[in-house]
Amino acid sequence: MRRAKISIIGAGNVGATCAHWAASKELGDIVLIDIPEIEVTKPDGTKEKVPFTMPAGKALDLYEASPVEGYDSKIIGTSDYSKTADSDVVIVTAGIARKPGMSRDDLIATNTKIVREVAQNVAKHSPKAIMIVVSNPLDAMVYVAWKASGFPTNQIIGQAGVLDAARYRSFLAEEIGCSVEDVQALLLGGHGDDMVPLPRYTFAGGIPIAQLVKKERLEQIVQRARDGGAEIVKLLKTGSAYYAPAAATVQMAEAIIKDKKRILPCAAYCEKEYGVGGYFVGVPCVLGTNGVERVIQIELDDNEKKAFQTSVDHVKELVKTVKL
Ligand code: APR
């Protein structure tokens, strides 16, 4: 039987951590891709371009851990997309973080260029792959990847909801004093600030959350989950979250590779669904071999509909700022 092949574009913190988790779950062979060269400053102050060997270093290090951890995966790091050919799943984490003095629009412009180029390369070498986009701003980058790849919509998914729900679930488990495994939660809408939590669809061990956590406390927990990315940035000081984003991404990859038909909240293309009209927004999806196999439409009450619509409007505004 052929092993599954997973390519990860961007071998930074999120990409390398995805590789680590995918290897430890023995999901398949892994290719880590990054840029070919970086600019370094020499002792005399002049700059020169040197080959960027970091992805090869991380891949080799991870491969050397395999006899200890017991996974049989080939792991390579390169800038050569031909090595990604015929991947089953491609995870896109390439991009730059916002730098001081950089506006949000500058960041979108830079990451649009990067994600566009990446998606074109993915489409060329792995036309049948399911592409999971992680690069931020997520709701815009997943749209860019779709347009640039020309992929059918089931082949493109954004990672957002699994991470937001994981943050929410972990804080709820802490509050209730129960296992994190027993907390089930569903979120809709955009990523982070724009997420729409649904307390009516949140349970711990099958018990509706409203019976376990007071309304005011639940609101505080929702807010903490919403600000989850910023809380980590503040603590790390030199970067953004990567363990939880990578774990969330690998859960999606696993559902696809093993054709598990898991129902996970993901940024999926919605046309008629929820009346979205052609954007990627967070909705419950069935994930299997064909990527997004189904978007599940759930019943929303008036308040939930309103919150979802506000979130969708934000996603549309964000996508409008993208210059393809
Ligand atoms: N092709 C391939 N890789 C690229 C490209 C490109 N065109 N441009 C940049 N990269 C690489 C960088 O060289 C870097 O190694 O993407 C990697 C990004 O890694 P980090 O800077 O460590 O960022 P990380 O924390 O991994 O976050 C990546 O995921 O969660 C999101 O907001 C986060 O958008 C960010 C992305």
Helix (H), strand (E), coil (C) string for 261-281: CEEEEEEEEECCHHHCCCEEE
State yes or no: pLDDT of 316 exceeds 90.
yes
| Backbone φ and ψ of 52, nearest 5° | -95, 95
Q: Which of 7, 240, 249, 252 to mutate to test the pocket of ligand 1 (most atoms within 8 A of CB)?
A: 240
Q: What's residue 107's pLDDT?
A: 85
State yes or no: pLDDT of 126 exceeds 80.
yes
Task: Locate the ligand 1 atom nearest the alpha carbon of residue 11 and give its number.
Answer: 15
Q: What's residue 191's pLDDT?
A: 86
Catalytic member of 20, 125, 191, 314: 191
The pLDDT tens digits of the residues spanning 229-243 come to 989 989 998 889 999
Q: What's residue 45's pLDDT?
A: 94
For the domain bounded by 5-158, which CATH number is listed? 3.40.50.720
Q: Is 191 among the residues known to form the active site?
A: yes
Ligand 1 site: residues with CB under 6 angstroms?
Answer: 9-15, 33-35, 93-95, 97, 114, 117-118, 134-136, 239-240, 242, 245
Mean pLDDT value of segment 143-171: 97
Task: Tell me, in angstroms, the distance from the centre of ligand 1 to residue 69's CA.
Answer: 27
The pLDDT tens digits of the residues spanning 86-123 come to 999 999 999 997 777 777 778 899 999 999 999 999 99
pTM: 0.97
CATH topology of domain 161-320: L-2-Hydroxyisocaproate Dehydrogenase; Chain A, domain 2 (3.90.110)
Mean pLDDT value of segment 54-82: 98
Using CA atoms, how far apart are residues 111 and 92, in angstroms rounded to an integer? 11
State yes or no: pLDDT of 84 exceeds 90.
yes
Q: What's residue 17's pLDDT?
A: 98
Cα separation of the two ends of the chain: 40
> What percent of the chain shows pLDDT beyond 90?
91
Average per-residue pLDDT for the chain: 95
Comparing 310 with 102, which gets the higher pLDDT?
310
Q: Which of 13, 18, 40 to mutate to test the pocket of ligand 1 (most atoms within 8 A of CB)?
A: 13
Q: Where are the chain's structural domains?
A: 5-158, 161-320
Q: What's residue 118's pLDDT?
A: 98
The pLDDT tens digits of the residues spanning 245-301 come to 999 999 999 999 999 999 999 999 999 999 999 999 999 999 999 999 999 999 999
Using CA atoms, how far apart are residues 164 and 213, in angstroms rounded to an integer? 19
> What percent of the chain shows pLDDT beyond 70?
100
Mean pLDDT value of segment 38-66: 96
The pLDDT tens digits of the residues spanning 58-70 come to 999 999 999 999 9
Cβ–Cβ < 8 Å for 256, 89: yes
Nearest-CA residue for ligand 1 atom 7 is: 114
Task: Tell me, in angstroms, the distance from the centre of ligand 1 to residue 55's CA.
Answer: 12
Residue matched to tokens 């909705």: 283
Cβ–Cβ < 8 Å for 136, 192: no
Amino acid at 286: V
Indicate the pLDDT class of residue 2, thresholds 50, 70 and 90. confident
